[in-house]
Amino acid sequence: PDWVVLDALNYIKDEIDPTLSHRWSCRMGVCGSCGMMVNGTPMLTCNAFVRDYPDPGRVSPLANFPIVRDLVVELDSFMDKLSSVKPWIIRKAEKDPSLGEYLQSPEDLDLFKQYSMCINCTLCYAACPVLAHDPEFVGPAAIALAHRYNQDSRDAGEAERFDIVNSGEGGVWACSYANECSEVCPKHVDPAQAVQRMKLTSAVQWLGVWPKKGSK
């Protein structure tokens, strides 16, 4: 009764079939590597108790990704999408380190903090109905990450991210707001909200107006 699904998979690998392939690392909902479909829903298997599922339960590889082997999926395209939105602080000019840190207020932090809690577990990609039909869609986690940096008071890279998140194919406009991504997020990030906010700001930016951070 105390086993999580990951315990069951590890038991199978240790005691029944050593050829079983699956990913995991931290076993405490932090690393994000143990995501799989559990009875059809994307879950962190270290965070899903066997007792909560009918017997027998069904575990399968994350949807919307190519399968490498058994329960291991190919993440290259996800990594490419993440890096495509330039998820780092971009500054027009660095100030001299002797002048001290870039200070932020608690209000500045509140603008992006929830989006920084993403652990790249890819559950939102497995849940996304748009990605199921359009593999080019940049996807919820990458858009939430772009939004996170756009909202950061230290960042000046919004214009550089504009073309990526607004591309006709694969950009924010492909999202149909099914909200499945936010439903499955184990860290309570709200990528669906980030996508809708990016749509709003993109529409305004398209008119040549760049809203101040925190105004969207």
Q: Which residues bind ligand FES (CB under 6 A)?
A: 24-27, 29-34, 44, 46
Cα 150 from Cα 79, distance rounded (Å):
19
**Cβ closest to ligand FES, residue 25 vs residue 83:** 25
User: Cβ 123 to ligand FES, closest distance in Å?
Assistant: 10
Nearer to ligand FES, 10 or 201 (CB): 10
Paired tokens of 135: 């593999």
Q: Which is nearer to ligand FES, 34 or 189 (CB)?
A: 34
The Cα–Cα gap between 94 and 85 comes to 21
Question: What minimum distance in Å lies between the beta carbon of 44 and ligand FES?
Answer: 5
Query: At closest approach, how far in Å is the CB of 23 from ligand FES?
Result: 8
Q: Please, are residues 65 and 126 in contact by the beta-carbon 8 Å criterion? A: yes
Q: Given the complex with ligand FES, which of 26 and 178 has the nearer CB atom?
A: 26
Minimal distance, residue 156 CB to ligand FES, in Å: 33
Q: Which residue has the tokens 């101040």?
A: 212
In sequence order, what are the residues at sequence separation of 6 or more whose Cβ sits closer than 8 angstroms to the Cβ of residue 70? 19, 20, 21, 22, 61
